[in-house]
Amino acid sequence: MAMGDPLNLDEVGEWAGLWWLPDAPGEQIPGVLRYEPDNGLTLSLIGAFEDRIMSAVAPGLVALHEGSRTWDVIHGVAEQREISLLGCVPNGGKRVIAARVKSPDKQSVVATTALIGAHVISGDDAAFFAAEVSVEDLGLWAASSVFEGFLSAPNGKPDGSGSISVKPVEAQTIIVDRTEFRLVHQHTLPFFDQRRGGTVGRMSDTVFMRIAPASPSSLNGALSSASLVQDLIALATHRAAGVIWLRLELAKSDSASRDDRPAMRRYADVLYSPSAFGRHDAKAVDHHRVFFTCASLSFEEVIPRWCKAHARLHAATNMILGLRYAPARYVENNLLTAVGAAEVLHRGLGIDEKPFAADEFKAMRDAMLEQVPEEHRDRFKRAIRNDPTLRDRLHALAARPDQDAIALLMPDVDHWARRTTRARNDLAHEGKTPNHSIEELIAVVEVTKAVVILNLLHELGLPAERQREIVRDHPQLRVTASAAREWLVAPGEDS
């Protein structure tokens, strides 16, 4: 099958076909697969797979057990395409044991992932040559377009004439650890839609990322690649970036060519539930709210750095971006997540400097242990660690990005570090924060998030001047800096 339009994750789809278990291809059951963004994948069968859990306890005697079977994969064919359903769980049905009139059973099966266009045995089946993914605002981040507009204005006044021209954009390519990343523009041909009330001219430009490892990859590998791109755009745009579509190029193309033409590429569309669904027709984010694009940090620079940072700082990245994808409703949850992300980031950056030299610390600890009763010595020894405190970690993180940007964000780093440490410790150890107002806690959360983000941008090599512009001009960072001046300055200091 040739390359067609990918299946958008925000659109409903339905496939009527035949379905079977991989170890019983001859026992095919008719049914309809339906995909809905809010409800996921549901297979409605006219018939049923055996979902009862049974065991033979004696010759001719079978015992039925509680629960029901699940299936790692179900295969199907529909609309001239192979389909694989992964992570399948029965979701009710109607099985009649003794009926007056014989008729087919019914069964409903819920799946976590569907591959429309390929049969695989599992999510680790290395069956794909490349993954192509479209993410919200990827085109804005690419800072390039096939379109150019010209408006005629003789004597400084528009006369109603002008033109829109199309010039193909060459794909940008970089290889990182034997994996090729390619930023691709794909545009449609001009189309004139004749309406009774007028005519509309239309073209579209789609930007997507193609990731091709040196050797065939699996569905699970493709999902990781999609997450890598999604997280990069979420960081760059400072918002939850949804996946619009994901498709995989099969490693084995059509074997037969026609009229001496090369074999056609075959693709499989992936339907799944990413951390955020992309809305393909939604308006792009305001460019003033974007931290960086390929114009401020080139594609060839940012991809290798992001691959390295994403692998090394994956946990911290997940925590801080999680506040964008699914923000908690209560400030206490956000406090623990933001401060936890800062701690994890500090460890991931490898700047865990010990407060004391190893020999000096051992001598001090041994001297203290001599004063502790024998029965409590092991417990006391585990409690004494030569690690930086949370306050030390926050100071170290604030010292990494451009210091002028940090000064614009908050006037008193030490007060922020002390109040953040106090708030986290009060909540974690006492279960409440009696020494902080809600307004101060919100300021602590937002400033800590901003420090983590500035560290990630610093790791990507974002220029110092751009870091300052972000803090000074980004609407949300301006509000955060204002809150820091109001709530995170030591009493008596000029804010």
Kindly report, residue by residue over 219-252, the tens digit of the pLDDT.
999 999 999 999 999 999 999 999 999 999 998 7
Whether the pLDDT of residue 119 is over 90: the answer is yes
pLDDT the model gives residue 104: 76
Identify the residue with better confidence: 300 or 152. Answer: 300
Identify the residue with better confidence: 76 or 260. Answer: 76
Helix 464-473 / helix 438-459 crossing angle, nearest 10 deg: 150
Helix 438-459 / helix 314-325 crossing angle, nearest 10 deg: 130
Whether the pLDDT of residue 61 is over 80: the answer is no
Q: Closest Cα to residue 73, out of 100, 46, 107, 109? A: 109
Whether the pLDDT of residue 21 is over 70: the answer is yes
Q: What are φ and ψ of residue 386, in 5° steps?
A: -95, 60
Average pLDDT estimate for 315-342: 89
Annotate the chain with three-state secondary structure: CCCCCCCCCCCCEEEEEEEECCCCCCCCEEEEEEEECCCEEEEEEECCCCCEEEEEEECCEEEEEEEECCEEEEEEEECCEEEEEEEEEEEEEECCCCCCCCCCCEEEEEEEEEEECCCCCCCCCCCEEEEEEEECCHHHHHCCCCEEEEECCHHHCCCCCEEEEECCCCCEEEEECCEEEEEEEEECCCEEEEECCEEEEECCEEEEEEEEECCCECHHHHHHHHHHHHHHHHHHHCCCCCEEEEEEEECCCCCCCCCCCCCCCCEEEEECCCCCECCCCCCCCCHHHCCCCCCCCCHHHHHHHHHHHHHHCHHHHHHHHHHHHCCCCCHHHHHHHHHHHHHHHHHHCCCCCCCCCHHHHHHHHHHHHCCCCHHHHHHHHHHCCCCCCHHHHHHHHHCCCCHHHHHHHCCCHHHHHHHHHHHHHHHHHHCCCCCCCHHHHHHHHHHHHHHHHHHHHHHCCCCHHHHHHHHHHCHHHHHHHHHHHHHCCCCCCCC
Average pLDDT estimate for 384-400: 88
d(CA 494, CA 411): 9
Whether the pLDDT of residue 1 is over 60: the answer is no
Per-residue pLDDT band at 93 (split at 50, 70, 90): low
Lowest mean pLDDT, pick from 124-128, 134-138, 256-260? 256-260
Whether the pLDDT of residue 255 is over 60: the answer is no
pLDDT the model gives residue 60: 65
Whether the pLDDT of residue 428 is over 80: the answer is yes
> Average model confidence (pLDDT) for the chain?
88
Annotate 307-351 with three-state secondary structure: HHHHHHCHHHHHHHHHHHHCCCCCHHHHHHHHHHHHHHHHHHCCC
Whether the pLDDT of residue 134 is over 50: the answer is yes
Identify the residue with better confidence: 367 or 429. Answer: 429
Q: Count other Cβ atoms within 10 Å, centred on residue 379.
A: 9
pLDDT over 70 percentage in the chain = 90
**Which token pair is 274?**
């990413």
On whether the CB atoms of residues 274 and 9 are closer than 8 A, the answer is yes
Identify the residue with better confidence: 245 or 382. Answer: 245
pTM: 0.86
Identify the residue with better confidence: 34 or 373. Answer: 34
Whether the pLDDT of residue 406 is over 70: the answer is yes
Residue carrying the six token digits 């069968």:
45
Burial of 32 (0-12, 13-18, 19+ CB in 10 A): middle
Q: Which residues pair with 32 in a beta bridge?
A: 16, 44
On whether the CB atoms of residues 293 and 321 are closer than 8 A, the answer is no
Per-residue pLDDT band at 147 (split at 50, 70, 90): confident
pLDDT the model gives residue 495: 44
What are the sequence ranges of the domains in the chain? 13-54+67-97+104-116, 128-151+164-193+201-297, 316-353+388-487
d(CA 359, CA 250): 58
Whether the pLDDT of residue 17 is over 70: the answer is yes
Whether the pLDDT of residue 321 is over 60: the answer is yes
Whether the pLDDT of residue 375 is over 70: the answer is yes
Whether the pLDDT of residue 2 is over 50: the answer is no
